[in-house]
Chain A
Amino acid sequence: MIRVRNFNNDKFSIYWPALAAANLNWFCDLGVDERRVDNRTIYIGHQSSLVNEDFIPPKFCDNRIVSSKYTVWNFLPKNLFEQFRRIANFYFLIIFLVQVIVDTPTSPVTSGLPLFFVITVTAIKQGYEDWLRHKADREVNKYQVTVLENGQETPKESENIKVGDIVQVKENETFPCDLILLQSTRDDDTCFVTTASLDGESNHKTHYTVPDIERDLKSLNATIECEQPQPDLYKSLGPENLLLKGATLKNTQKICGVAVYTGMETKMALNYQGKSQKRSAVEKSINAFLLVYLCILLSKALVCTTLKYVWQSKPGQDEPWYNKKTQKEKDTNLYLKMFTDFLSFMVLFNFIIPVSMYVTVEMQKFLGSFFITWDKDFFDPEIQEGALVNTSDLNEELGQVEYVFTDKTGTLTQNNMEFIECCIDGFQYKHRGASSELDGFCVTDGPVNKLQQKAGREELFLRALCLCHTVQVKESTEQDQREDNLDQVDGLRIDENVLQPPQKERGFIASSPDEIALVKGAMRYGFTFLGLESKTMKILNRNKDVEMYDLLHVLNFDPVRRRMSVIVRSGSGEMLLFCKGADSSIFPRVRQEEVERIRLHVERNATEGYRTLCVAYKRLSEEEYAQADAGLREARLALQDREEKLLAVYNQVETGMSLIGATAVEDRLQEEAAETMEALQRAGMKVWVLTGDKMETAKSTCYACGLFQRKTELLELTVRTLEDGERKREERLHELLGEYHKRAVQDAPPVKAGGTRVCFASNQDYGFIIDGASLSMVLNSSSESNMRSYKDLFLQICQNCTAVLCCRMAPLQKAQIVKMVKSSKGSPITLSIGDGANDVSMILEAHVGIKGKEGRQAVRNSDYAIPKLKHLKKLLLAHGHLYYHRIAHLVQYFFYKNLCFILPQFLYQFFCGYSQQPLYDAAYLTMYNICFTSMPILAYSLLEQRISIEDLIEDAALYSENAKNAMLRWGLFLYWTGLGAFHGLVFFFGVRFLFSNPALQDNGQVFGNWSYGTIVFTVLVFTVTLKLALDTRHWTWINHFVIWGSLAFYVFFSFFWGGIIWPFMKQQRLYFVFANMLSSVSAWLVIILLILLSLLPEILLVVLRNPRDPHIVPLLVPDKHD
């Protein structure tokens, strides 16, 4: 509630609708202490006249925006704290601490170094991002604003604005804080604002000054009482006098306003929150696998600990004379010892869950996403922009999409509206460009009689088109345009429609392109809207006379009403109400006898894919107007349920109208829309069209882009079908759902068998159509018991249909549908694509959101933005497929390579008295994941193209190979785990049998335990690297470089590490071990043998699997490119 008290003339107070309930919530949610009053009092210009009262200047926060998380001082502790809140990091920290505290087999360095590396890299990345935020904050906070202090214009930095300051804002500037509009340079005390950066709506909103305010702000002495800041942005974008921070002033030279909410208390700041983290299916798989490996780790440690104590219980084993315990060990309590032993084993085997996997996965995602931005195929020369990646966490989800939800307008179609035809009183008028006749009209049907009357109706219709809208004329160019007009009129076009002004130069601004198309259509027929000046609309009519209309009321458009109206007073004092809207919302409100003539045209236009609107009007008598006026004013000032009250008044006013005609506006399909949709369907994706449009229009679009085919059997669940029978809607719904379910689900042969969802020609295709009203019935059915089953039935039907069309959807319903599908059985991956603000909720809900059109503000709400719909094909079929394949392989490979890394170490415990003796040297333990085996898999996961991009795009069915997380199924995971275990066993026991006689050199000298470990490790590094080489199907020079480079590096490092007596090291375990190993023929032979033996099953499988793969090209084929 905001209340302004003016002390100068204490005669009014304004109430703004209070959001009392929300207010309460806010207190609860944020846990603000309750002593805070729920209203704040603001002294405009800090002038308090109440000197006699105790004046305590209220303390409000300053206008500094802080979106950064850290400062220089708290960066380290805070960042570390946040990083260690990640469960993986915390786990590694614990391992590290155990190593530091407990006497463990490996030095803390082995796990501390990788952890330190990871933490540092992440900290640097986050620090950099925070620095960027700081920079952005600084830009906002240091932004120069003009503040009126005692009437003087004083420049100030934005952050210094205090609550109560009077701020001056010029055109095209953004508001530095939430302001109450006090003064505007416009005569009608309004200003125009776009809230594009707040909610993505780019239309102009009108705000009004506080009425009856003093003109001279200097002497103004008033207080404002308003509610405490609260984040509710979407309920309504602030009362009509509240200008929100972040919004931009338009079409108004200058305004003055008093700051009411500043800094972090502005609506924008309260609304700002990071997008909710979307977790990819791969990540969930990783977590599941991690759990398995954690279990393996724990059981390994448990087994070893148990066996250790069993083994030690035999006499002489625990403490033989040659290996006495230290005094400390002897003193330790047995159970404590058991526990520390358990921890030691954990530490010894902890490499099975590698820190480096997270780093590699992160790097893969981060670097991999660049390939999308780099792709020149996504570059659109028109807008000079390519694709945009807002999150790299979901790359692989692009290869997993099962459901595509697409918006129709602007996504499937171009949202480039063109006025095609209109229908006045049942007569169809089609504009035929330059060859038009009869004043730009071409009567294509209908009798030619009653010309007189017809002309009157025509003009009325065109006036309605000119008046009934919220379009604004770009004022800055008006002057030029008039000149242009004259030029053009004198010029060549004289033989054409003389009164037709050139369209290109006239700039219109509106919230929806339909309105512009209509205004332009009217312009083509001789009625030009010249603009709105202080509530007066000016129209240039056919006779080049300017008609003036007073704009009395605008009954705004909203998606529920699906219509908008204006009430104007014509020059002759006539009160007129013009209303335009969807047929379904207009027809019930006009005289029924007029409807039939028009309905035919509307339906025909709709099936041709045009967007249709009906236009109606009504003459208001003075009394009627007075009544309506009073009702509207009252409703606008209502304190509670303002919206409901307004709606009631609107409904009351918009009745008994008479229908004039209908318009048809064409919205062309996007380039390659049909091909893209077809490819998506062939790839096994279900395409759902969610649109706010009417059914016929949407259906025709669906046919046009091939979502519905001729043979597709359409199942319709709309208000129309529901009202077919005489029975109640609920019963009919029940009946229809049951019937469709029977047809689409029960009778259809089961197709789901192989996980692939390719529809075969023999099967009957079904298409499902549902509208918003029916959907809400399905979802919110009155009886609890039915609801579940309806929803399930609905889902099942939809899942068996090739395409689903949901029309007449409210934005929220779109999100509801996405949510419903997302949470259905098997939690399929969904993708939403849309371009408008009404798609934002759906995009946020879906797993992957894509914004279609260029340069829209809400692009930032999407995860990926592509310039055109056609790019979706490559994004999913090629990039998505490859990303998924790469990361899935990366994950499996990582688990595999660490299992066969650690398994020999585990097995060695059985031979060393369960003493936690590591098999490998500490350097090898540390370097294995960091240096020796990390680069090849990273290169693989960035560059691999199992199937070439061309093939992937060409054969969309390949996409379904990866459906349902195919490469990370438990079966495959078991295979990889089994492979790892097999390799580990081969490595360990191969060397174990070799070491049954450790005299392996030709001079009779023997090898010790470090040689044993080094041989195992050498086999290991070579095997896992060569295994990856076997999997690599796309050998670029980078792959060659990192694979052979890693192996060479390993050899080089081993020589180097063993070649020097390292100073400051207490133990020189590996001194010349590697070189000595290489001097033994037996070691060479065993290494070669074991590598080959390990890879043998792999090679065999590859060979056996290949013949079934239809994409083999015989033998070694060099790449075609280049």
Chain B
Amino acid sequence: MMASSYNAKDEDGHHSGSVSHGGAGTAKSKKPDNTAFKQQRLPAWQPILTAGTVLPAFFVIGLIFIPIGIGLYVTSNNIKEFEIDYTGVNVDSPCYTCANNFSWNSTTSCSCTVNFTLEQPFENNVYMYYGLSNFYQNHRRYVKSRDDRQLNGDATALKDPSNDCEPYRKIGVETIAPCGAIANSLFNDSLELYYVEPSGALNAVPLAKKGIAWWTDRNVKFRNPAGVDLPTAFKGTAKPVNWRKPVYELDPSDPDNNGFINEDFIVWMRTAALPTFRKLYRIIHKNQSSTSTLPSGRYVLNITYNYPVLSFDGRKRMILSTISWMGGKNPFLGIAYITVGSICFFLGVVLLIIHHKYDTRSNSADIPN
């Protein structure tokens, strides 16, 4: 009735100046679309976790985790591991002299021998690790002190590696190859293992050098620079300061295991996560003829002691270990699984009780109303 009279709309600023500019939604004269999305009515699944749904889940988790945990624990326990510290801190330890008379300048290497006894035979492949403690391979300055382009065989990076390699980048005018702190501090003790036959004769245990590095590292990530042979390829570069031999002479016994693709080198270049770590050194392959790879008995470990660790209060170990499907010996996973499984199971029980109590309570509360 009054529609014509009160004309507010006419005055709606047509050309009201610059003051009005569109916000999130400017005037819409059309009816909004009636789509499920725009009306917030998309079909939806609305799960609600209740004691009823979660209870079985708890029991199931418990029932799955506990056996896995037990399996893991047993597996871990079945792994045989032998560890010996040969640092030579104590006066009575065999490597004491080597450790304390260490000098970077000495040309002759110091050797020491450690005797040990394996109580139990080691079956299947046995893996020989060296372990270092208080060695911060994960220090930032250390971790970044490498040039992966150089290690990948890049010719320009070989001559002009990244500045990250400082202060192990150049000696005078010659570039260091491989550059950087990691490469420079390559672990260079050599370990030899001898089985002491009941007769007293020393029987050298064959130690395989291949297969200790990741396949992709050895074949893709690390590559030697192009050249007729390695010495020419590395021509014009210097060996790292602390090295005794150039990179292309790392393994005199196997020409394919030299240069950047030397597996010991590759293993070392994969920086460890924690200051106490182990790295795979050699593999003792299963002996086809005899039952155990390393029969129980006395052994001699011959160490060429080149690697000083006492200056930073470090320790060196040699570890012999068998391996299972879960890797090396580590009871943690098994215990964790058993614990979590038990907690789930226990919670399941508790929840069941609460659930029952609550149900009865709510039922009795509902009835009077």
Q: Which residues of chain A come closer than 8 Å to B254, judged between CB atoms?
A: none
1/0 per position for B103-147, CB-CB distance to A under 8 A?
000000000000000000000010101000001111111111111
B1-48 at interface with A (beta carbon < 8 Å): 1-9, 11-25, 27-34, 36, 38-48
B230-281 at interface with A (beta carbon < 8 Å): 242, 267, 270-275, 277-280
Which of A323, A1065, A1085 makes the CB contact (< 8 A) with B72? A1085
Residue of B whose beta carbon sits closest to that of A136: B18
Q: Which residues of chain B come closer than 8 Å to A326, judged between CB atoms?
A: 166-167
Contact present for A1122 and B8 (CB under 8 Å): no
Residue of B whose beta carbon sits closest to that of A1029: B47
Which of A143, A860, A996, A1085 makes the CB contact (< 8 A) with B20? A860
Contact present for A1003 and B211 (CB under 8 Å): yes
Contact present for A945 and B40 (CB under 8 Å): yes
Contact present for A1002 and B43 (CB under 8 Å): no
Q: Is A239 an interface residue (CB 8 A)?
A: no
Contact present for A999 and B11 (CB under 8 Å): no
Q: Is A754 an interface residue (CB 8 A)?
A: no
Q: Which residues of chain A come closer than 8 Å to B184, judged between CB atoms?
A: 322
1/0 per position for A369-386, CB-CB distance to B under 8 A?
111111110110100111
Tally B residues with Cβ within 8 Å of A.
Answer: 128
Q: Is B51 an interface residue (CB 8 A)?
A: yes
Q: Which residues of chain A come closer than 8 Å to B369, judged between CB atoms?
A: none
- With A320-B136, A326-B167 as given contacts, are A917 and B330 in contact (CB-CB < 8 Å)? no
1/0 per position for B352-363, CB-CB distance to A under 8 A?
001000100010
- With A327-B167, A911-B275, A917-B140 as given contacts, are A999 and B7 in contact (CB-CB < 8 Å)? no
Most buried by B among A133, A322, A1010, A1037: A322
- With A140-B18, A1121-B43 as given contacts, are A105 and B2 in contact (CB-CB < 8 Å)? no
Residue of A whose beta carbon sits closest to that of B186: A322
Which of B28, B44, B323, B324 makes the CB contact (< 8 A) with A1035? B44
Contact present for B340 and A373 (CB under 8 Å): no
Bound Cα distance A854, B125 (Å): 84
Contact present for B272 and A1065 (CB under 8 Å): no
- With A999-B278, A999-B323, A1082-B326 as given contacts, are A139 and B31 in contact (CB-CB < 8 Å)? no
Q: Is A949 an interface residue (CB 8 A)?
A: yes
Q: Which residues of chain B come closer than 8 Å to A1092, judged between CB atoms?
A: 61, 340
A901-956 at interface with B (beta carbon < 8 Å): 911-913, 915-918, 943, 945, 949
- With A245-B17, A509-B5, A1106-B50 as given contacts, are A917 and B333 in contact (CB-CB < 8 Å)? no
Q: Is B53 an interface residue (CB 8 A)?
A: yes
Q: Closest approach, in angstroms, between the C-beta of B42 and any C-beta of chain A?
A: 4
Q: Which residues of chain A come closer than 8 Å to B217, judged between CB atoms?
A: 1071-1072
A297-326 at interface with B (beta carbon < 8 Å): 315-317, 320-326
Bound Cα distance A810, B282 (Å): 92
Which of A503, A1002, A1007, A1116 makes the CB contact (< 8 A) with B45? A1116
Q: Which residues of chain A come closer than 8 Å to B44, judged between CB atoms?
A: 945, 1034-1036, 1039, 1119, 1121
- With A323-B185, A998-B272, A1009-B138 as given contacts, are A1115 and B28 in contact (CB-CB < 8 Å)? no
- With A1004-B127, A1004-B283, A1006-B280 as given contacts, are A855 and B4 in contact (CB-CB < 8 Å)? no
Bound Cα distance A949, B46 (Å): 13
Q: Closest approach, in angstroms, between the C-beta of A1017 and any C-beta of chain B?
A: 13
Contact present for B139 and A1002 (CB under 8 Å): no
Which of A136, A917, A1067, A1121 makes the CB contact (< 8 A) with B146? A1067
Q: Is A797 an interface residue (CB 8 A)?
A: no
List the one stretch of A14-22, A194-202, A691-699 in contact with chain B: A194-202
Give the A-B pair count, Cβ closer than 8 A: 419
Contact present for B33 and A374 (CB under 8 Å): yes
Bound Cα distance A990, B280 (Å): 23
Bound Cα distance A945, B267 (Å): 53
A390-419 at interface with B (beta carbon < 8 Å): 390-392, 416-418
Contact present for B18 and A388 (CB under 8 Å): no
Contact present for A1089 and B147 (CB under 8 Å): no
Contact present for A67 and B1 (CB under 8 Å): no
Main secondary structure of the interface of B (DSSP, over half): loop
- With A323-B139, A855-B12, A1112-B50 as given contacts, are A1082 and B273 in contact (CB-CB < 8 Å)? no
Bound Cα distance A824, B282 (Å): 76
List the one stretch of A109-117, A483-491, A633-641, A1095-1103 in contact with chain B: A1095-1103
Contact present for B167 and A385 (CB under 8 Å): no
Q: Which residues of chain B come closer than 8 Å to A918, judged between CB atoms?
A: 140
Q: Is B176 an interface residue (CB 8 A)?
A: no
Q: Which residues of chain B come closer than 8 Å to A371, judged between CB atoms?
A: 38, 40
- With A389-B23, A513-B6 as given contacts, are A1112 and B213 in contact (CB-CB < 8 Å)? no
List the one stretch of B195-203, B291-299, B305-313 in contact with chain A: B305-313
Bound Cα distance A707, B145 (Å): 75
Which of B142, B283, B336 makes the CB contact (< 8 A) with A990? B336
Q: Closest approach, in angstroms, between the C-beta of B53 and any C-beta of chain A?
A: 6
Q: Which residues of chain A come closer than 8 Å to B324, judged between CB atoms?
A: 1002
Q: Is B67 an interface residue (CB 8 A)?
A: no
Q: Which residues of chain B come closer than 8 Å to A915, judged between CB atoms?
A: 136, 138-142
Bound Cα distance A375, B35 (Å): 10
Most buried by A among B31, B45, B343: B45
Q: Is A507 an interface residue (CB 8 A)?
A: yes
Contact present for A516 and B344 (CB under 8 Å): no
Bound Cα distance A865, B30 (Å): 16
Q: Which residues of chain A come closer than 8 Å to B173, judged between CB atoms?
A: none
Residue of A whose beta carbon sits closest to that of B185: A322
Residue of A whose beta carbon sits closest to that of B313: A316
Q: Closest approach, in angstroms, between the C-beta of A885 and any C-beta of chain B?
A: 13
B133-164 at interface with A (beta carbon < 8 Å): 135-149, 152, 162, 164
Q: Which residues of chain A come closer than 8 Å to B19, judged between CB atoms?
A: 67, 197, 268, 272, 860
- With A321-B308, A1066-B164, A1081-B325 as given contacts, are A136 and B20 in contact (CB-CB < 8 Å)? yes
Q: Is A434 an interface residue (CB 8 A)?
A: no
Bound Cα distance A214, B72 (Å): 108
Q: Closest approach, in angstroms, between the C-beta of A636 and any C-beta of chain B?
A: 26
Contact present for B136 and A912 (CB under 8 Å): yes
Bound Cα distance A132, B52 (Å): 57
Q: Closest approach, in angstroms, between the C-beta of A104 and any C-beta of chain B?
A: 10
Q: Is A342 an interface residue (CB 8 A)?
A: no
Contact present for B214 and A1005 (CB under 8 Å): yes
Q: What are 13 sample pairs from A and B whose C-beta atoms fall under 8 A apart? A: A202-B7, A321-B311, A322-B135, A326-B166, A911-B275, A997-B330, A1004-B280, A1068-B148, A1085-B337, A1089-B65, A1089-B340, A1099-B49, A1118-B45
| CB-CB nearest 5 A-B residue pairs | A322-B185, A999-B328, A67-B18, A197-B13, A1012-B273
Interface residues of B (CB under 8 A from A): 1-9, 11-25, 27-34, 36, 38-54, 57, 61, 65, 68, 72, 125, 127, 129, 135-149, 152, 162, 164, 166-168, 181, 184-185, 211-214, 216-217, 220-221, 242, 267, 270-275, 277-280, 283, 308, 311-313, 321, 323-330, 332-333, 336-337, 340, 343-344, 347, 351, 354, 358, 362
Extra A-B contacts (13), CB below 8 Å, given A67-B21, A1115-B48: A326-B166, A392-B23, A416-B2, A915-B138, A916-B140, A999-B127, A1003-B323, A1004-B280, A1005-B280, A1006-B272, A1033-B48, A1037-B42, A1068-B152
